[in-house]
Amino acid sequence: MPDFDVIVIGAGPGGYVAAIKAAQHGRKTAIVEKEALGGVCLNWGCIPTKALLKSAETLESFRHAAALGLHADNVRADFGAVVKRSRDVADGMSKGIAFLMKKNKVEVIRGTATFSGADSIVVTAGDGSARTLTAGHFIVASGGRPRQFPHLPVDGKRVFNAREAMCLPEQPKSLACIGAGAIGMEFGYFYQALGTQVHIVEVMDQVLPVEDHEAAKFVERAFLKLGAKVSTATKVEKLEVQADGVVLQLEKGGERSTITVDRVLVAVGMVANTEGLNLDAAQVALDERGFIKVDDNQRTSNPRVYAIGDVAGKQLLAHKASFEGEAAVGHIIGHPAPVDYRQIPGCTYCQPQVASIGLTEKKALAAGKKLKIGRFQFVASGKAKAVGHPEGFVKLIFDAEFDQLIGAHLVGYDATELLAELSLAMKLECTAQELMETVHAHPTLSEAVMEAAADALGVCVHQ
Amino acid sequence: MATIDLTVPAKSPTMTEGTIVAWRVKAGDLVKSGQVVAEIQTDKAVVEWEALDGGTVAELLIPAGSIAYVNQVAAVLTSKPGESAAAAIAKARELNAQLAAAAKGGAPAPAPAAPATVVLTPAPMPTAASAPALHPQAAPAAAPQKQYRITPVAARFAAQHGLDLAKVRGTGPSGRITLRDVEEARRAGTALIGAAPAAGAPAKAKLKPFRADGAPSADQAMSAMRQVIAKRLAESKATIPHFTVTEAVDAGALAAIKDQCAAYDGVKVTVNDLVVRAAALALRIHPRLNATFHGTAVRQYDSADICVAVAIPDGLITPIVAKAHAKSVRQIGDEVRALAKKAAEGRLQPHEFQGGSFTVSNLGMFGVESFTAIINPPQVAILAVAGIKDEPVVRGGQVVAGKVLRLTLSADHRAVDGADAAAFLRTLRELLEAPAGLLV
């Protein structure tokens, strides 16, 4: 008899969800974690950064309070208190996970897991003590970490990754964000709003390279308006830490320039956390990019071992990890439910927020589809005007053949909260017709979704 | 996972209640869609009740001899044997009680909205798929259409491609039909309205219940492919001066070869494979038919690239066996079957169906005596291959029982003349009557 039916390695949003699901289906389950429960998402990613951004947004709204007829003088940020609140939120959430583990009778094992065979691991605790555990199935959910580049050496003090960026001892005067993905843009917004001079440097030709080009352009303009500098299609050739700052040598279209900043955030790509797991012993193979190779049901080359989340590649998103966790457990208990990667939403929480699901316009065209595109600008929304956030738009992309929703791109205030309707619409294979004919409460920002669907059919009412 | 409620149907337009005279199934029985599950006494007659969906009977909720109100749940099925249906049964009992109370003049009847587990919508009238079509009570005016659990996009796809949703298996939540399901059904060709089942027993002719009012049903949009077919064939028939020549082939040896090949290591050779091979050889002898017409010029080819007409779910397509003159019967057969499979799956590449120098169209599998085909322009001829029929033939002055295959060539009189067509058919007949030559 193995010690457990299922052992999950890593307690991030993929691992802990998988563990709870396995336990709920009556499997004797353990979860191994070497750091805090909740993983990067809860402790060093999604959640604490949302806390930071709330402070930045609120400060911004104080700045524009006069437009609402309010006067707020001498408003200033207490950087230390902002960071402390963020840490408190994360710590509170981590305790919540511990409670969930207990409630679902998942045994939490503290330590570092290493495979010692195809069906066993050794867990080494902080005090050096080791125990061997066997299980019917393993789910590897060990996550990822920032990719390191020789020409962008990270020292954790003046040049750092996201983890350091969210608890700096003091606010930098200027900050370069290398990489304009979600991490670079969120920290860019946070620090710029707090008064740091931010310079975004992105090698691709738009910020938020995975997003629709219209959404990216809109956010770039908003950043410039906020006072940030943005350089797209720009490579960082060299990074030098000097006494009075960090010097970056940039190259754009053959032209070189240098900038000097106080601090540098490197947010360029992630790699899988596979070292130390001794995956060879478990006969678990990696793909050419170093992520664990899995099939549609998250199974690795060892049929006992599953991999989910960042360590299994594809989109590196917490909710994708959670759903892969459910898919892995589903396969273990005999109810396979593979993840549909065409329907993974993505959100960026700078202001204006960007939320999207499905194909961008360029990708849909590249796939040879004929499109119907509907747009609605929030400036035409009564609610958006009333709450003082008329910026942004909804852009919906439909396959012209059956008017099926295949992409949704939202930019604006609380855009990320508006996305769920479109995720559901996509899951239910809705057409523009159903979106347009669904009664949306007035006045809400969500009316923009209905109007954009109507626009795609050429029958928009309010623009 | 799923349970299915069998709700009491209104077996006549005025029926609000009936009596279950007898059950034909009991708990634990496997019920097939369309199977008679009970006899119901309506206000007019005793009629049979067919299940719309299949499953295993979990429980009969209305005992034989009892009154059954329309929309009451008479039985609960599970999609798999032995599944628990306790929740669905409890829900059904509650609904039944409400309906009974309402019928007796109590509280107003609850809207017959289906609870989450009900796969059937409470369609009170028998439907096209299941109605005992010849039963007089079962042809109410304007029967409401059966509704299906289907996504909006899948519904549009099914309408465009003319799919019968009763034949599509839903793989979404609670059996919801998704886009993938209808795409697969279309590829497999099993769910076409009026289509024969893909495999198994020969299709039984099914009577389509016509609407009693005789009104036309809704227009069905033609698929893009159908529209192209319509345009091209109308153009061909209207602009090309077709003439046709028919020849009868004594097909005794041909039929024998088919059986001999099958006996030899199970090699599957069809009449079509042999005809394509023979046509390719005959085209080398009569190159005027191996040509395309271009207004003021006729282009002959030094390769017999023979198009074979293949029926696919929403039309037909003519994939090409290139260089058929240089291929063996077996190669031709393998290639035709591979192309037909790709065609059915919609995976043909343009070069696999565009072009060609001659076309063979075969309706032999239906056993037809003869037919004429419309030329596939710019080609100048098309061969229509009928079925092999048992007929009296004359051999050595004696009438004996034989097998006859009729071939009809349609040709473009602008490019070729009757003598060309006749000469080609004579060569073809000689090759097919002494088929050993086709095998070397």
How confident is the prediction for chain B on average, in pLDDT? 80
A389-403, B326-340, B409-423 — which is least confidently predicted?
B326-340
The pLDDT of residue B119 is 32
Residue A153 has pLDDT above 80, yes or no: yes
A209-218, B32-41, B382-391 — which is least confidently predicted?
B32-41
Strand A120-124 versus strand A353-358 pairing type: unpaired
Name which residue leads in pLDDT, B245 or B142: B245
Q: Do B154 and B112 share a structural domain?
A: no
Encoded tokens for B433: 């009557």
A283-297, A388-402, B76-90 — which is least confidently predicted?
B76-90
Q: Do B420 and B273 share a structural domain?
A: yes
Taken in order A16, A18, A24, A26, is the CA torsion positive or negative?
A: negative
Please tell me which of the candidates B153, B160, B178 has its beta carbon nearest to residue A431. B153
Domain end call among B86, B112, B136? B136
The pLDDT of residue B255 is 87
Which range among B24-28, B150-154, B218-222 has the greatest average pLDDT? B150-154
Q: How far is CA A206 from CA A122, A218, A238, A240, B171, in A?
A: 46, 10, 21, 25, 40
> Is there a contact between A430 and B179 if contact means CB atoms under 8 Å apart?
no
Q: Do B93 and B38 share a structural domain?
A: yes
Chain B residue closest in CA terms to A433: B152
pLDDT 10s digits, B163-213 = 888 888 888 888 899 999 999 888 887 766 644 433 334 445 667 667 777
Query: Distance (Å) from the C-alpha of residue B88 to the closest C-alpha of chain A?
Result: 21
Strand A263-266 versus strand A159-160 pairing type: parallel
Domain assignment present for residue B77? The answer is: yes
Query: Distance (Å) from the C-alpha of residue B173 to the closest C-alpha of chain A?
Result: 10
Catalytic residue positions of A, numbered: 442
Contacts of A428 in chain B (CB under 8 A): 151-152
Name which residue leads in pLDDT, A450 or B206: A450
Q: Do B372 and B292 share a structural domain?
A: yes
> Is there a contact between B153 and A402 if contact means CB atoms under 8 Å apart?
yes
* B66: amino acid identity, one letter: S
A184, A187, A190, A195 alpha-carbon torsion, rounded to 10°: -90
Q: Do B170 and B255 share a structural domain?
A: no
pLDDT 10s digits, A178-196 = 999 999 999 999 999 999 9
Q: Where are the domains of chain A?
A: 4-146+271-341, 159-268, 352-456
Residue B64 has pLDDT above 90, yes or no: no
A352-456: in CATH 3.30.390.30: yes
- What band does A410 get if pLDDT is binned at 50, 70 and 90? very high
Q: Do B156 and B123 share a structural domain?
A: no
- What band does B77 get if pLDDT is binned at 50, 70 and 90? confident
- What band does B43 get if pLDDT is binned at 50, 70 and 90? low
Domain assignment present for residue B142? The answer is: no
B413 included as an active-site residue = yes
The total domain count for chain B is 3
Contacts of A11 (CB under 8 A, 6+ apart): A19, A31, A32, A33, A37, A38, A39, A97, A101, A108, A141
> Is there a contact between A429 and B156 if contact means CB atoms under 8 Å apart?
no
Contacts of B154 in chain A (CB under 8 A): 429
Does the fold of domain A159-268 match that of domain A4-146+271-341?
A: yes
Contacts of B183 in chain A (CB under 8 A): none
DSSP state of B107: S
Question: What distance in Å separates the CA atoms of residue B84 and residue B1, rounded to the nearest whole number?
Answer: 9
Question: Domain containing B351 — which CATH number?
Answer: 3.30.559.10
Q: Residues 146 to 205 of B: which have CB under 8 A from any A CB?
A: 151-154, 156-157, 160, 178-179
Domain assignment present for residue B220? The answer is: no
Q: Do B339 and B234 share a structural domain?
A: yes
Q: How far is CA B402 from CA B275, B338, B392, B394, in A?
A: 19, 33, 5, 8
Residue B285's domain spans which residues?
225-439
Give the three-state DSSP class for A378.
helix
Query: Distance (Å) from the C-alpha of residue B161 to the closest C-alpha of chain A?
Result: 12
Encoded tokens for A401: 């053949």
The pLDDT of residue A308 is 98
The pLDDT of residue B13 is 61
Question: Domain containing B13 — which CATH number?
Answer: 2.40.50.100
Domain assignment present for residue B214? The answer is: no
Question: What distance in Å separates the CA atoms of residue B19 and residue B11, rounded to the nearest whole number?
Answer: 11
Contacts of B156 in chain A (CB under 8 A): 402-403, 431
Q: What is the CATH number of domain A4-146+271-341?
A: 3.50.50.60
Q: Do B385 and B270 share a structural domain?
A: yes
- What band does B343 get if pLDDT is binned at 50, 70 and 90? confident
Residue B153 has pLDDT above 70, yes or no: yes
Q: Do B346 and B299 share a structural domain?
A: yes
A134-148, A377-391, B336-350 — which is least confidently predicted?
B336-350
Contacts of A404 in chain B (CB under 8 A): 153, 179
How confident is the prediction for chain A on average, in pLDDT? 96
Residue A142 has pLDDT above 90, yes or no: yes
Residues from A contacting B (CB-CB < 8 Å) are: 402-404, 428-431, 433-434
Q: Residue A57: phi, psi to the nearest 5? A: -60, -40
Which fold, A159-268?
FAD/NAD(P)-binding domain (3.50.50)
Would the pTM of this model clear 0.80, i.e. be above it?
no
Give which of B406, B339, B335, B340 is closest to B373, Cα–Cα: B406
Domain assignment present for residue B217? The answer is: no
The answer to whether residues B347 and B338 touch, using CB atoms and an 8 Å cutoff, is no
Mean pLDDT of B283-293: 94
Domain end call among B97, B113, B136? B136
A148-152, B52-56, B148-152, B358-362 — which is least confidently predicted?
B52-56
A258-267, B109-118, B198-207, B311-320 — which is least confidently predicted?
B109-118
Q: Do B325 and B287 share a structural domain?
A: yes
pLDDT above 70: percentage of residues in chain A: 100
Q: Do B271 and B314 share a structural domain?
A: yes
- What band does A103 get if pLDDT is binned at 50, 70 and 90? very high
Give the three-state DSSP class for B15.
coil
Mean pLDDT of A190-214: 98
> Is there a contact between A402 and B157 if contact means CB atoms under 8 Å apart?
yes
Strand order in the sheet with A353-358: A346-348, A353-358, A404-412, A392-399, A371-377
CB neighbour burial string for A188-201, b if at least 16 within 10 angstroms, e if fewer: bbbbbbbebbbbbb
Q: Do B409 and B359 share a structural domain?
A: yes
